[in-house]
Amino acid sequence: MKAVLIPGDGIGREIAQSVRTISDVLDTGIQWQEFEAGAEYAAANGELIAPGTLDAIEDCGWALKGPTATPIGKGFRSINVQLRQRFHTYANLRPVRTLPGVATRFDQVDLVIVRENTEDLYKGIEYMLDEDTANGVKLITRAACERISRFAFDYARANGRKKVTCVHKANIMKLTDGLFLSTFREVAKDYPDIAADDCIIDALCMKLVQRPEQFDTLVAPNLYGDIISDLCAGLVGGLGFAPSANIGDKTRIYEAVHGSAPDIAGQNKANPSAILMAFAMMLNDLGMADKAARLNGAILELLTEGKTLTADVGGTATTTEFTAALADKLR
Ligand code: NAI
């Protein structure tokens, strides 16, 4: 089967190579179609995404992407936002779990964040009212609220989860977040087997850094979902271990949560775990749950042994060495 691979910017090329190596070792049978996109491509070619990329994603429905930067102030729209809107990948799924061998302040985190991915302040409706006043529109529709709430409850049910918490600020944004919350409550009635509650975003942030184990599945509008995803990644050891999936009805795009890490790009220092964990999510959805479990298991084993760790988690291994050690485990 075919899948699109977009290495992207900065460390993207290094971690995409890890995916190719591990995909071969696992004998997934995936034929990668590689396409260029990002700020580095734009600097040489004047456009952010190489011709044919979007059609290829449309054709096969599966893509794995590395981080991409957007040149600021040059009229380019973020690749991520473009992809989400074009392919209607309305749900951004980000599992966050405590990992053995990665020292953090918490030891029982097991959370899933379901972020609405298409609207809210990210819709891109911004304009100047006059030269000193900018206005941005927070657009929330009942249809998108219902779709993401159902996605969260269906995911919870399918994955043995017990509770879904709606994240909002409906006490202040009574119409927009109010619609998100009231729609969530309506949808919850169809899932009597899953507990449902809600939490105001600011209180949630405090509770997450005090006792994250009290949460299970969180469903949030776009902006809050974006922020709490990074917060939660921090609870389990940072961006090196945070995978995500952008899910639509016809298209799925998997990626690491982190960016292009320009400070370490080209130095063979990047931790490829997050993109490999995103690849494991992809394998799972492709019906290769056994290979996904082997991959996740091998990453956990490497972390637990602690002999081959990248610099972000206190080791000295290069990206290539980490990937080779992982490949050895999988063989
Ligand atoms: P960043 O995530 O690239 O880097 C933050 C810090 O984490 C840096 O110190 C970096 O070295 C470290 N880091 C990130 N990933 C790592 C990895 N796999 N292994 C080891 N260390 C890692 O965030 P930053 O600097 O804010 O963004 C850099 C660029 O990436 C920006 O242009 C931004 O727009 C873009 N970006 C793209 C994303 C995407 O395409 N999904 C997501 C986030 C940022």
Q: What is the pLDDT of residues 264-317, one digit of tens each?
A: 999 999 999 999 999 999 999 999 999 999 999 999 999 999 999 999 888 999
Q: Whose CA is nearest to atom 32 of ligand 1?
A: 69
Q: Whose CA is nearest to atom 40 of ligand 1?
A: 67
The pLDDT-based confidence of 58 (bands split at 50, 70, 90) is very high
pLDDT tens digits for range 105-143: 888 899 999 999 999 998 889 999 999 999 999 999 999
Give the C-alpha separation, 67 to 89, whole Å.
17
CB 131 within 8 A of CB 123: no
Mean pLDDT on 225-241: 89
For 107-129, letters b (16+ CB in 10 Å) and e give: eebebbbbbbbbbbbbbeeeeee
Return the H-helix or E-strand segment holding 31.
strand 31-34
pLDDT mean across residues, the chain: 95
Q: Whose CA is nearest to atom 31 of ligand 1?
A: 69
Residue 190: alpha-carbon gap to chain centroid: 27
- Known catalytic residue at 202: yes
CB 243 within 8 A of CB 19: no
In CATH, 105-235 is 3.40.718.10: yes
* In the chain, ranges of CATH 3.40.718.10 domains: 1-92+239-331, 105-235
Q: Which of 41, 90, 122, 224 is catalytic?
A: 122
Q: Which of 90, 120, 155, 169 is catalytic?
A: 169
pLDDT at 240 over 90: no
Residue in 89, 258, 316 to alter for ligand 1 test, most ligand atoms within 8 A of Cβ: 258
**One-letter identity of residue 129:** L
- Known catalytic residue at 27: no
| Nearest atom in ligand 1 to 80's CA | 40
For 68-100, letters b (16+ CB in 10 Å) and e give: bbbeeeeebeebbbbbbbebebbbbbbbbbbbe
pLDDT tens digits for range 168-203: 999 999 999 999 999 999 999 999 999 999 999 999
Length, in residues, of the chain: 331
Q: Whose CA is nearest to atom 1 of ligand 1?
A: 259
Distance 192 CA to ligand 1 centre (A): 40
Here the tokens at position 118 are 């298409």
- Known catalytic residue at 328: no
| Beta strands, E only, 79-231 | 91-97, 110-116, 126-130, 133-136, 163-168, 195-200, 217-220
Distance 154 CA to ligand 1 centre (A): 31
- Known catalytic residue at 122: yes
Q: Which of 120, 148, 94 is nearest to 257 (CA)?
A: 94
* Close Cβ partners of 190 (under 8 Å, ≥ 6 residues apart): 150, 153
Distance 142 CA to ligand 1 centre (A): 33
CATH number corresponding to 1-92+239-331: 3.40.718.10
Q: Which of 202, 249, 290, 328 is catalytic?
A: 202
Q: Whole-prediction pTM value? A: 0.93
Q: Whose CA is nearest to atom 4 of ligand 1?
A: 261
Q: What is the predicted pLDDT for the residue at 18? A: 98
Distance 176 CA to ligand 1 centre (A): 31
For 1-33, letters b (16+ CB in 10 Å) and e give: eebbbbbbbbbbbbbbbbbbbbbebbebebebb
Q: What is the predicted pLDDT for the residue at 103? A: 79
